[in-house]
């Protein structure tokens, strides 16, 4: 990344990874972080809900405690506000590349698509909490819900979202598709119903094509 001219605020890059549970994004995120660290001075890897002590507490509640859908929305946006203020905005101001495992597209997909929350309310909260901040690039790991369910069953015990049925995850997937349609310039869809090596090649290609991943 080019150093900012004197007097110009540093401009980092904000990259997010999205997809239904079982899409494999977390392992690709680690590979992407390693690839970026060889190319840019500072990479901050973080996640949502979470990324700060307070937001991690809220994550625990959202993932484990039963609650209605609007409460879920308010908690993930409260966590997001803290995360933006404490971690994401300062890192971007330093010129870092921020690599975040999920962000607001997940709220539109899970709470909007999956749980049926009013999208207009989500749009209002998004603008209130984020003040215009959006990812520069979003890699969307997309695959059929049935394939993702089979992968999840092979590796781990489910949390509150992962325990949902296939129909829920098809609605979440449709929620991501709707967001991708609204933000075509920042979304890159990665066909994740393929061997990990092929998916990884697409991930690195998308990063290489993005200015935030340019060599020093
Ligand atoms: P995930 O990112 O898959 O982490 P892990 O791989 O460690 O389980 O889990 C986070 C869960 O939170 C996931 O099921 C999606 C859900 N979630 C929402 O419902 N809304 C949101 O806004 C975010 C960020 C996540």
pLDDT digits (tens, 9 = 90+) for 111-130: 999 999 999 999 999 999 99
101 lines ligand 1 (CB under 6 A): yes
Residues 67, 116: Cα–Cα separation, whole Å: 14
Mutate to test the pocket of ligand 1, among 106, 149, 157 (most ligand atoms within 8 A of CB): 106
Residues lower than pLDDT 50 in the chain? 1-8, 214-216
* Atom from ligand 1 closest to the CA of residue 161: 14
Give, in order, the Cα–Cα distances in Å from 2 to each of 5, 37, 89, 93: 9, 15, 19, 14
Kindly report whether the peptide bond that precedes residue 49 is cis, defined as omega within 30 degrees of 0: yes
Q: Would you state the structure tokens that stand for residue 163, as one six-digit string?
A: 């325990």
Nearest C-alpha to atom 1 of ligand 1 is from which residue?
21
Cα 157 to ligand 1 centroid, rounded to whole Å: 14
114 lines ligand 1 (CB under 6 A): no
Q: How high does pLDDT run on average in the chain?
A: 92
pLDDT at 214: 47
Residue with tokens 């449709």: 174
Mutate to test the pocket of ligand 1, among 161, 165, 169, 175 (most ligand atoms within 8 A of CB): 161
92 lines ligand 1 (CB under 6 A): no
Cα 102 to ligand 1 centroid, rounded to whole Å: 7
Residues 82, 115: Cα–Cα separation, whole Å: 24
pLDDT at 176: 98
* Atom from ligand 1 closest to the CA of residue 48: 24
pLDDT at 7: 47
Q: pTM score > 0.75 for this model?
A: yes
Mutate to test the pocket of ligand 1, among 49, 64, 112 (most ligand atoms within 8 A of CB): 49
171 within 8 A of 108, measured Cβ to Cβ:
no
Pick from 129, 162, 152, 160: nearest CA to 60: 160
């Amino acid at each position: 990344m080019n150093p900012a001219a004197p007097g110009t605020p540093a401009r980092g890059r904000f990259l997010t990874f999205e997809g239904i549970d079982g899409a494999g994004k977390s392992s690709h995120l680690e590979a992407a972080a390693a690839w970026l660290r060889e190319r840019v001075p500072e990479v901050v890897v973080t996640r949502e809900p979470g990324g700060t002590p307070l937001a991690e507490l809220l994550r625990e509640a959202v993932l484990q405690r039963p609650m209605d859908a609007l409460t879920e929305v308010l908690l993930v946006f409260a966590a997001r506000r803290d995360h933006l203020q404490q971690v994401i905005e300062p890192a971007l101001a330093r010129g870092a590349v921020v690599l975040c495992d999920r962000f607001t597209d997940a709220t539109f997909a899970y709470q909007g698509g999956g749980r049926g929350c009013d999208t207009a309310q989500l749009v209002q909260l998004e603008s209130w909490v984020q003040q215009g901040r959006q990812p520069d690039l979003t890699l969307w790991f997309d695959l059929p819900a049935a394939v993702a369910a089979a992968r999840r069953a092979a590796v781990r015990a489910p949390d509150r979202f992962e325990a949902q049925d296939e129909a829920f995850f098809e609605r979440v997937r449709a929620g991501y598709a709707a967001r991708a349609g609204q933000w075509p310039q920042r979304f890159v869809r990665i066909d994740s119903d393929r061997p990990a090596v092929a998916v990884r090649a697409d991930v690195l290609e998308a990063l290489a094509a993005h200015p935030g991943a340019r060599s020093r």
